[in-house]
A and B are shown apart, each in its own frame.
Chain A
Amino acid sequence: MGYGFREAVRRKVFAVVVLLTAAFLVLFWLATHYVFTRLSTITPPTDVHVDTRTFAGAFLLGLAMFATLFLGVVLAVFLTLGVVSGDAERGLLQPLIVRPVGRSTLLLSRFLGAAVVCIVYVLAVYGIALTIIDVAGNWTPPSPLAPGLELAGGVVIVIALSILGSVVLSSTANGIAVFMLFGAGLTAGLLGTIGHALSSPTIEHASRDAAWALPFEALYQDGLRLISSDASGLTGFLLQLGPFGGAYVHGWEIRVWSAAYLCVALALAVLLFRRRDL
């Protein structure tokens, strides 16, 4: 795993993502500061019962979670898109494969290396965003840790898919395929929100199926649900309208399914890698 971890942090993409993240966090801090500064000046009509602080806090954290997931996925994909095909084409893999460590160990070490880097990254960015909102707006979600863990879980699933793709696809094709899957998942989530607003069972059903097929999206949705789980009434309804709220697939079922999905994706990657000519 040491090789996999070191390989992950030494790539230039890691430095690029760290720089982009720093820029995002500075902008996010500015936005959060201004939102909560102006919040005290907003007075909703007396017959509209909206908890503006909860709405603003949950909305901003939802936004931060989306950005964190996006940056985490960028990091995950660029760290792993060429783990097999790309490294084999460049000749990096062959000297390692002929050592008596086994292909499975090698592939899993690369997975673990990327997973550790991405989990630390996602939790750090999520934690900083949470702290910014708490400091600027004195608001924290009811269960602050679980959404971060679910975000990290979503990124780990993307890593597994990217590694699986790298066994059968070239680096470029794999990168495109994984980003398209990610985009499909996010679009399905937004469609679900639209379906909910329009009360369209067909759209909601399609969104739910997509979330089960791409559980990183379901975990993200569940994380969004958790940050606004104590919002009720009109505040809860507005948050459900999205785009950073609402979950149509959630709870322990999707977490267990995600763990199983991860194991199957990794097992399939190992199986295919063991049979692959290099």
Chain B
Amino acid sequence: MPPALAVHALEKRYGSVRALQGVDLSVEEGELVGLLGPNGAGKSTLVKIAVGLVRATRGRAEIAGARAGSRAALLELGYLAELFRFPGWYTADEVLALHQRLARSDGGAAERGRLLELVALDDARSRRVDGMSKGMQQRLGIAQALVGSPGVLVLDEPTSALDPAGRRIVRVLLEQMRDRGVSVLLNSHLLSEIELVCDRVAILRAGEVVAAGSPAELSRPRGVELETDEGPRTVEGATREDAPRLVAEAVAAGRRVYGVRVLTSTLEDTYLEAVGDEVS
């Protein structure tokens, strides 16, 4: 069975600028993969190639085994663009109805109601887009991406316009999607968000994947901290396996041990290490 989303040796040039330089990435069924990187790293280009908005210079991108941008691929896809807008005179319900027609969804009013409820817009069903806040439009965008129950969801900065409550709604939504077997590629600047929900993370820099793996795999041991009667003491380079020995040594040396903490790097540390001095 082909991956839900896969890109192989993907290259994209804009004139002399190489936006992507041979990127390989896949999202398996029911997997939630986060895409990280500083501005200009090629994240949006990668996402746009995957959804068929941009043509690759070399390499290939596939959705459920179908060429990205083909009808078969688009039938499987739900997409929220980083910058998007709906016609201001449409109501929330009409936006979803339009996308139902375009996505060949036969979900009808029941699907629209369910999606609006999912993004906490059930009270704004008849409100025109013009009269919505940016956050509401962003949530409507997410509901639009879910029209037709797509098997693959590509979200480009889905929480950029949301307040903490809105972000939480999206986070819960993403977890629900994963539980339903929906595959998600999430492009976001918010490391904490990625760390909380993603199964795997790929970090891009200058058009190349410079680090990839689960958040746990990407985090590195930074030492063990002992809290003793002399105060806290950090043993750098020590791992979880070293903790019992370190405690025993401290006790043998006449120290009282009140606590032990294994220190690991955060995704942020790994990210900053991977992208170097590039400012996001």
Mark A residues whose CB is within 8 Å of B: 3, 7, 10, 90-92, 94-102, 275, 277-278
Task: Pick the interface stretch among B84-92, B117-125, B180-188, B244-252.
Answer: B84-92
Task: Tell me which residues across on chain A come within 8 A of B48, comparing CB atoms.
Answer: 277-278
Nearest residue (CB) in A for B144 is A95
Task: Tell me which residues across on chain B come within 8 A of A100, comparing CB atoms.
Answer: 71, 74-75, 102-104
- State whether A95 and B99 are in contact (beta carbons under 8 Å apart), knowing that A10-B87, A100-B104 are contacts in the complex: yes
Task: Tell me which residues across on chain B come within 8 A of A94, comparing CB atoms.
Answer: 53, 79, 81, 83-84
Task: Tell me which residues across on chain B come within 8 A of A10, comparing CB atoms.
Answer: 87, 89
CB atoms of A99 and B141 under 8 A apart: no
Docked Cα-Cα span, A26 to B119, in Å, equals: 52
1/0 contact string of B88-113 vs chain A (CB within 8 Å): 01000000001100111000000000
Give the residue of B77, B102, B104 whose beta carbon is less than 8 angstroms from that of A96.
B102
Which 3 interchain pairs have the tightest Cβ spacing? A99-B102, A100-B74, A94-B81
Nearest residue (CB) in A for B84 is A91
Docked Cα-Cα span, A231 to B83, in Å, equals: 60
CB atoms of B86 and A277 under 8 A apart: no
CB atoms of B53 and A277 under 8 A apart: yes
Docked Cα-Cα span, A10 to B128, in Å, equals: 13
Task: Tell me which residues across on chain B come within 8 A of A3, comparing CB atoms.
Answer: 98
CB atoms of B53 and A97 under 8 A apart: yes
Docked Cα-Cα span, A95 to B74, in Å, equals: 11
B172 at the interface (CB under 8 A from A): no
Instruction: List 13 A-B residue pairs with CB atoms under 8 Å apart, sorted by A's residue number.
Output: A7-B87, A92-B85, A94-B53, A95-B79, A95-B84, A95-B99, A96-B102, A97-B53, A101-B102, A102-B71, A277-B55, A278-B53, A278-B54
- State whether A99 and B85 are in contact (beta carbons under 8 Å apart), knowing that A275-B55, A277-B55 are contacts in the complex: no
CB atoms of A95 and B86 under 8 A apart: yes
Docked Cα-Cα span, A91 to B48, in Å, equals: 13
Give the residue of A90, A99, A275, A278 whose beta carbon is less than 8 angstroms from that of B99.
A99
Docked Cα-Cα span, A101 to B98, in Å, equals: 12
Task: Tell me which residues across on chain A come within 8 A of B30, comparing CB atoms.
Answer: none
CB atoms of A95 and B103 under 8 A apart: no
Docked Cα-Cα span, A89 to B93, in Å, equals: 24
Task: Tell me which residues across on chain A come within 8 A of B89, comparing CB atoms.
Answer: 10
B52 at the interface (CB under 8 A from A): yes
Docked Cα-Cα span, A94 to B55, in Å, equals: 14
Task: Tell me which residues across on chain B come within 8 A of A99, comparing CB atoms.
Answer: 74, 99, 102-103
Task: Tell me which residues across on chain B come within 8 A of A278, comparing CB atoms.
Answer: 48, 53-54
CB atoms of A92 and B86 under 8 A apart: yes
Task: Tell me which residues across on chain B come within 8 A of A95, comparing CB atoms.
Answer: 79, 81, 84, 86, 99, 141, 144
Nearest residue (CB) in B for A278 is B53
CB atoms of B141 and A92 under 8 A apart: no
Docked Cα-Cα span, A148 to B141, in Å, equals: 44
Task: Tell me which residues across on chain A come within 8 A of B81, comparing CB atoms.
Answer: 91, 94-95
